[in-house]
Amino acid sequence: MKKTISLMIMACMLLLAACDNYLDIQPTGSVIPNSLAEYRALLARSYKDVSKFSDRGMACFRSDEMQVRDDEYDQNYYMDIERWNDLAPNAYTSSFEWAKYYNVLFIANHVIESKSDIKEGTEEEINQLVGEAYMLRAYVHFLLVNLYGQPYTKEGALDTKSVPLKLDTDLEKVLKRNTVKEVYVSIQEDIDEARKLVTEAEWEQRYSYRFNTASVEAFQSRVSLYKGEWQAAWNAAEAVLAVKSVLVDLNDDAATLPNNYNSVENITPLETPLSSTVNGAALATPVFLSLYAENDLRLDKYFAEADEKGFRKNKKAGSNNYLCTFRVGEIYLTAAEAAAQLGQLPQARTRLLELMRKRYAPEAYEAKSIAVNAMDKEALVQEILDERARELAFEEVRWFDIARWKRADVFKKTLHGVNVTIKSGSVAEGNLQLNFEQPKVESVSRFWQKNFSPKWYMSAFPSDEINKGYGLLQNPGW
């Protein structure tokens, strides 16, 4: 009979007082993992959970990248997210995840703590599995701290409270918020442990979602970039490019998109960039699309034809054809940004232009090459940041980028107005139908456009989590 591995934490939640320790019981039809194969299946479940996280995608509604389309369903679910109405949203507003992150952390911790107890596997196989668990733990903490904490490089941010670290399987421990610095220290420690244990250079395609040696350095490059540790970011990026540097050439009509799960660029095809529902609701804004120059091949490769208002749907997210956590294009941009910030402009230009050659038509590339080679440091850094926006569009990166760059000006996206009228039915009868209409509005902005507060660099904790009363305090200002 096929065995199903179940999280004992779920049994504890159901049995409460009857369970003093999550290993005390073995539910009917389930087994406590013992073998390498069983622990591997347990970790695969966490990989699947991570692949479905959609919070960063929803957060991008708050950036200049995209906005909610004029549709009753989509407006109901995402309009208040776009407007930062976190504390009193309408009843249908999609919720940001919380518990699922900590479920993943629990499984990762269990695998890490059980290293010496895992049976029926070689030392190398067990080390690889545990190394992946360290990577998962670090990655989930990284997502959380960037959603709910101040940007690492913001003055005074390191000592501000962010999210609770979860580094063990103790179910009775009351979690308290750790500082931004403490969370990043833990992330780095876990990456260092993963680097010692992960030895698989490349998985066969059906297991390619798992972390490999290049994943470790790719993640290191991203973490160092977000911390403003430019030399470390450069070193890690170059370590990745030493083993995987091939870029998709969009001049080839038959080329797959760079974030396709089977792309030559893909390092870790794990996460779906934008869930199908978020992707269906999202339109690329005309302001964002204006970042693409004529003969930038990505404009038509990444986006459908513009509608009558200048908006476009994206073509690189919303399905399992597009699975990507780390890819080579991002690594080139990390190397370019780090080198530019270090004042190593020739190296920065080289890495940037290597990417651009594969993204622009030949005549457009030649013009870009001349312009880039003439740029001073300030102009080059800005060009790299714009290129990140163009290259990584709709891959759930934009929100984190504009927060780490502390770009209050980019947050000031002009929003469309919405007229809401009754179409039919009533609340009393339970059959109310509404019309959502976008009138022509010259300038309707977020209500805080003229009174920016640093609180906008981080999200509010989900209200239902605050209301559970276990001690999680809301972010300042919310």
* Per-residue pLDDT band at 430 (split at 50, 70, 90): low
- Please, which contacts does 409-412 make with residues 24 or more away whose CB atoms are closer than 8 Å? 410/63, 410/64, 411/62, 411/63, 411/64, 411/446, 411/452, 411/456, 412/445, 412/446, 412/449, 412/452
Q: Contact 289/299 with Cβ under 8 angstroms?
A: yes
* Per-residue pLDDT band at 469 (split at 50, 70, 90): confident
Q: Residue 300: name the closest of 230, 363, 251, 232 by CA.
A: 251
**pLDDT surpasses 90 at 28:** no
- Please, which contacts does 241-245 make with residues 24 or more away whose CB atoms are closer than 8 Å? 241/328, 241/331, 241/332, 241/335, 243/201, 243/213, 243/214, 244/214, 244/328, 245/328
**pLDDT surpasses 60 at 18:** no
| Per-residue pLDDT tens over the stretch 377-408 | 999 999 999 999 999 999 999 989 988 998 77
Average pLDDT in the 209-214 region? Answer: 98
Q: Residue 71: name the closest of 436, 346, 468, 477 by CA.
A: 436
Distance in angstroms (rounded) separating the CA atoms of residues 63 and 77: 17
437 phi/psi in degrees, rounded to 5 = -125, 135
Say what the pLDDT of residue 20 is.
33
**pLDDT surpasses 70 at 332:** yes
| Per-residue pLDDT tens over the stretch 232-277 | 999 999 999 999 999 999 999 999 999 999 999 999 999 998 889 9
**pLDDT surpasses 80 at 132:** yes
Which tokens hold the place of 141? 């903490």
Q: What residues are paired with 322 via a beta bridge? A: 260
Average pLDDT in the 12-27 region? Answer: 33
Query: Which are the contacts of 15, defined by CB distance < 8 A and separation ≥ 6?
Result: 25
DSSP code at position 90 = -
Say what the pLDDT of residue 21 is.
35
Distance in angstroms (rounded) separating the CA atoms of residues 414 and 63: 10
| Per-residue pLDDT tens over the stretch 188-200 | 999 999 999 999 9
Say what the pLDDT of residue 437 is.
55
DSSP code at position 322 = B
DSSP code per residue over 232-247: HHHHHHHHHHTT----
218-251 burial, b for 16+ CB within 10 Å, e for fewer?
bbbbbbbbbbebbebbbbbbbbbbeebeebbebe
Which tokens hold the place of 102? 């900590």
Say what the pLDDT of residue 8 is.
43
Average pLDDT in the 214-220 region? Answer: 98
**pLDDT surpasses 60 at 13:** no
